Protein backbone atom coordinates (compact mmCIF):
# COMPACT_ATOMS: atom_id res chain seq x y z
CA UNK A 1 0.00 0.00 0.00
CA UNK A 2 1.29 3.40 -0.98
CA UNK A 3 -0.04 6.66 0.47
CA UNK A 4 0.29 10.35 -0.35
CA UNK A 5 0.31 11.22 3.37
CA UNK A 6 -1.28 9.83 6.56
CA UNK A 7 -4.96 9.22 5.84
CA UNK A 8 -4.46 10.66 2.33
CA UNK A 9 -4.88 9.08 -1.07
CA UNK A 10 -3.81 5.44 -1.24
CA UNK A 11 -2.89 2.85 -3.83
CA UNK A 12 -3.11 -0.90 -3.42
CA UNK A 13 -1.26 -3.17 -5.80
CA UNK A 14 0.76 -6.33 -6.15
CA UNK A 15 4.09 -7.02 -7.81
CA UNK A 16 6.87 -9.57 -7.95
CA UNK A 17 9.50 -6.85 -7.35
CA UNK A 18 8.37 -4.37 -4.71
CA UNK A 19 11.56 -2.25 -4.72
CA UNK A 20 11.35 -1.74 -8.48
CA UNK A 21 7.63 -0.97 -8.37
CA UNK A 22 7.96 1.59 -5.55
CA UNK A 23 10.74 3.33 -7.48
CA UNK A 24 8.59 3.40 -10.62
CA UNK A 25 5.80 5.11 -8.70
CA UNK A 26 8.21 7.56 -7.06
CA UNK A 27 9.81 8.49 -10.37
CA UNK A 28 6.45 9.09 -12.07
CA UNK A 29 6.99 6.28 -14.58
CA UNK A 30 3.53 4.89 -13.85
CA UNK A 31 0.76 7.10 -15.24
CA UNK A 32 -2.53 7.25 -13.39
CA UNK A 33 -3.75 7.49 -9.82
CA UNK A 34 -0.36 7.39 -8.07
CA UNK A 35 1.14 10.03 -10.33
CA UNK A 36 -1.95 12.27 -10.27
CA UNK A 37 -2.19 12.25 -6.46
CA UNK A 38 1.54 12.12 -5.60
CA UNK A 39 1.22 8.72 -3.94
CA UNK A 40 4.72 7.45 -3.26
CA UNK A 41 5.15 6.48 0.42
CA UNK A 42 5.16 2.74 1.10
CA UNK A 43 3.08 2.41 4.27
CA UNK A 44 2.30 -1.33 4.28
CA UNK A 45 3.31 -4.46 2.43
CA UNK A 46 2.74 -8.18 2.72
CA UNK A 47 4.77 -11.07 1.35
CA UNK A 48 2.82 -14.01 -0.08
CA UNK A 49 3.86 -17.50 -1.14
CA UNK A 50 2.43 -17.24 -4.65
CA UNK A 51 1.50 -14.55 -7.14
CA UNK A 52 -2.11 -15.77 -7.04
CA UNK A 53 -2.21 -15.38 -3.24
CA UNK A 54 -0.96 -11.80 -3.58
CA UNK A 55 -3.48 -10.91 -6.29
CA UNK A 56 -6.33 -12.47 -4.31
CA UNK A 57 -5.37 -10.43 -1.22
CA UNK A 58 -5.03 -7.24 -3.30
CA UNK A 59 -8.49 -7.68 -4.80
CA UNK A 60 -10.05 -8.30 -1.38
CA UNK A 61 -8.47 -5.23 0.19
CA UNK A 62 -9.48 -3.03 -2.75
CA UNK A 63 -13.13 -3.87 -1.98
CA UNK A 64 -12.82 -2.83 1.66
CA UNK A 65 -14.19 0.38 3.10
CA UNK A 66 -11.60 3.13 3.43
CA UNK A 67 -11.72 3.02 7.24
CA UNK A 68 -10.72 -0.68 7.18
CA UNK A 69 -7.79 0.11 4.87
CA UNK A 70 -6.64 2.87 7.23
CA UNK A 71 -6.94 0.46 10.17
CA UNK A 72 -4.82 -2.10 8.31
CA UNK A 73 -2.02 0.45 7.95
CA UNK A 74 -2.35 1.75 11.51
CA UNK A 75 -2.17 -1.75 13.00
CA UNK A 76 1.37 -2.24 11.66
CA UNK A 77 2.51 1.33 11.00
CA UNK A 78 0.70 3.87 13.21
CA UNK A 79 2.99 6.73 12.16
CA UNK A 80 2.43 6.02 8.44
CA UNK A 81 6.20 6.09 7.98
CA UNK A 82 7.91 5.06 4.77
CA UNK A 83 8.71 1.35 4.86
CA UNK A 84 10.69 1.17 1.63
CA UNK A 85 13.96 0.56 3.48
CA UNK A 86 12.37 -2.49 5.17
CA UNK A 87 11.55 -4.38 1.97
CA UNK A 88 13.10 -7.85 2.27
CA UNK A 89 15.77 -8.77 -0.25
**CA–CA dist 3, 77 (Å, integer):** 12
What pTM did the predictor assign? 0.94
Domain segments of the chain: what residues?
A: 2-86
| 40/23 Cα distance (integer angstroms) | 8
Please state, in angstroms and rounded to a whole number, the distance separating the CA atoms of residues 16 and 64.
23
pLDDT by residue (tens digit) across 27-86? 999 889 999 999 999 999 999 999 999 999 999 999 999 999 999 999 999 999 999 999
Amino acid sequence: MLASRPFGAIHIGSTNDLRRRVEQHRNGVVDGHTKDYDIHTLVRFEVHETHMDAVTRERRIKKWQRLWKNDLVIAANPEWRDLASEIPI
